[in-house]
Amino acid sequence: MHMSDVIKRDTTTFSFEFFPPSTDKSWEKLEETIDELTKLGPSFVSVTYGAGGSTRTKTHELVRRLKERSGLDPVPHLTCVEHDSAQIHDILKAYADAGISNILALRGDAPSGARSGDHFKHFPYAADLIRTISEFNRSGAHPDPRGFSIGAAGFPEGHPETPNTLAQMDHLKSKVDEGVDWICSQMFFDNRNFLDWKERCRLKGIDVPIFAGIMPVTSLSGLKRMAELAAGTNFPAPLLRALERAGPDPRNIERVGIHWATEQCLQLMDEGVQGIHFYTLNRSKATIEIYKSLGVNDSEQLRGRREPEITIVKR
Ligand SMILES: Cc1cc2nc3c(=O)[nH]c(=O)nc-3n(C[C@H](O)[C@H](O)[C@H](O)COP(=O)(O)OP(=O)(O)OC[C@H]3O[C@@H](n4cnc5c(N)ncnc54)[C@H](O)[C@@H]3O)c2cc1C
């Protein structure tokens, strides 16, 4: 389903990110996760794109499987890394022919140890890729006359390469000007930073829907990995204190992480966010627990409104 239709239908969207597994065993595990999470009726699911080689083929494979198996319209991520225009055109054509309606367009990061300039020869920034997808859309090559709905990444707590936050906002705005229809945020654990950034986006004239990226902490090793992958992410002291209190038992750590993410989601819903995108790490348990506490797993009605319903009784 085209993202504009998703947004019209589900005023508050709930969605999941998956990554293509590297082994047969992890494919099996992911199939189970997909079955479990599909039952929750997500608004959409997205699939990450690797830095190169076979992981990329696996993204296309997972996108195809998700479409066939779950009836969902998966949103593939696509990056600039080591792609030229002809390759991007071929990928877009294949997705368009397969009935894919949405793409999350990113710059990506250079594979570690390599000089980054060489990897972005044709598309230095995500805005360049977005321009190419918009041109593809205008060429009428997509069976849907609206073309792909294009998403971009946003960084509420800043992107490490651009310490100047005003310049960062200019770069985000230029992505929107090139044709972005929606933004998906990097994970964050401090809602105040997300809400402030959202307001700064609006002040800059960035008026497309913004999905909030939520990743529950499920282990201490996972926390360390998050800090490495999403440099600049703020881990608030109350969260770190609660994790410390939880002690060494991994089940307690997971409980704290799920509780924190649930509280984040509740506040974000109260604030009327467009949607919540869960970074699932291909696991279902934490997301299902959060859904249960939010009461959105079995209530289609709740998706259809952002403000709590208030009945005024006249005396
Ligand atoms: C929701 C989400 C999903 C992601 N999925 C993937 C994935 O599947 N695969 C993957 O490899 N990575 C993924 N990433 C990581 C992302 O690719 C990296 O964080 C990357 O460094 C930034 O990508 P971007 O699209 O924001 O790049 P850009 O918008 O191009 O920005 C990159 C940096 O360049 C700066 N910049 C932009 N334009 C200019 C300009 N004209 N002049 C100077 N500086 C400029 C920006 O301020 C920023 O610091 C994801 C990130 C998020 C938030």
| Each residue's pLDDT tens digit, 28-42 | 999 999 999 999 999
User: Is the beta carbon of 159 within 6 A of some atom in ligand 1?
Assistant: yes
- Residue 192 CA to residue 43 CA, distance in Å, equals 25
The pLDDT, as a whole number, for residue 297 is 65
pLDDT above 70 covers a percentage of the chain that reads 92
Amino acid sitting at position 272: G
User: Which pLDDT band holds residue 309 (cuts at 50, 70, 90)?
Assistant: very low
- Residue 184 CA to residue 216 CA, distance in Å, equals 17
What burial class does residue 36 get, using C-beta atoms within 10 Å of its C-beta: 0-12 exposed, 13-18 middle, 19+ buried? middle
What digits encode the pLDDT tens for the residues 229-277? Answer: 898 999 999 999 999 999 889 999 999 999 999 999 999 999 999 999 9
What digits encode the pLDDT tens for the residues 45-99? Answer: 999 998 877 789 999 999 999 998 878 889 999 999 999 999 999 999 999 999 9
- Residue 169 CA to residue 167 CA, distance in Å, equals 5
User: Is the beta carbon of 204 within 6 A of some atom in ligand 1?
Assistant: no
The CB-side HSE value for 296 (13 A sphere, CA atoms) comes to 28
Ligand 1: atom nearest CA of 277 is: 1
The pLDDT, as a whole number, for residue 285 is 95
Residue 310 has pLDDT above 80, yes or no: no
User: Is the beta carbon of 49 within 6 A of some atom in ligand 1?
Assistant: yes
Provide mean pLDDT across the span 9-22: 93
Catalytic: 300? no
Residue 277 backbone phi and psi in degrees, to 5: -110, 120
Close Cβ partners of 148 (under 8 Å, ≥ 6 residues apart):
92, 95, 96, 100, 101, 102, 103, 133, 136, 137, 142
User: Which pLDDT band holds residue 300 (cuts at 50, 70, 90)?
Assistant: low
Q: State the DSSP H helix or E strand holding residue 103, giving kind and residue range, or none if neither.
A: strand 102-106
Amino acid sitting at position 59: T
Amino acid sitting at position 314: K
Domains (ranges, CATH) in the chain?
3-303 (3.20.20.220)
Q: Closest Cα partner for 26 from 287, 283, 285?
A: 283
Rounded to two decimals, the pTM is 0.94
Q: How many Å lie between the centroid of ligand 1 and the Cα of residue 272? A: 26
The pLDDT, as a whole number, for residue 295 is 85
- Quote the mean pLDDT of the chain: 92
The pLDDT, as a whole number, for residue 192 is 98
Q: How many Å lie between the centroid of ligand 1 and the Cα of residue 52? A: 16
Close Cβ partners of 220 (under 8 Å, ≥ 6 residues apart):
243, 253
The pLDDT, as a whole number, for residue 314 is 45
Instruction: Name the residue with tokens 């997300």.
Output: 194
CB 102 within 8 A of CB 67: no
Q: State the DSSP H helix or E strand holding residue 78, giving kind and residue range, or none if neither.
A: strand 75-79
The pLDDT, as a whole number, for residue 306 is 57
Ligand 1: atom nearest CA of 161 is: 49
User: Which pLDDT band holds residue 298 (cuts at 50, 70, 90)?
Assistant: low
User: Which pLDDT band holds residue 315 (cuts at 50, 70, 90)?
Assistant: very low
- Residue 7 CA to residue 306 CA, distance in Å, equals 12
The pLDDT, as a whole number, for residue 311 is 46
Q: How many Å lie between the centroid of ligand 1 and the Cα of residue 151? A: 12
Ligand 1: atom nearest CA of 77 is: 8
- Residue 57 CA to residue 200 CA, distance in Å, equals 37
Pocket test for ligand 1, best of 45, 58, 107 (most atoms within 8 A of CB): 107
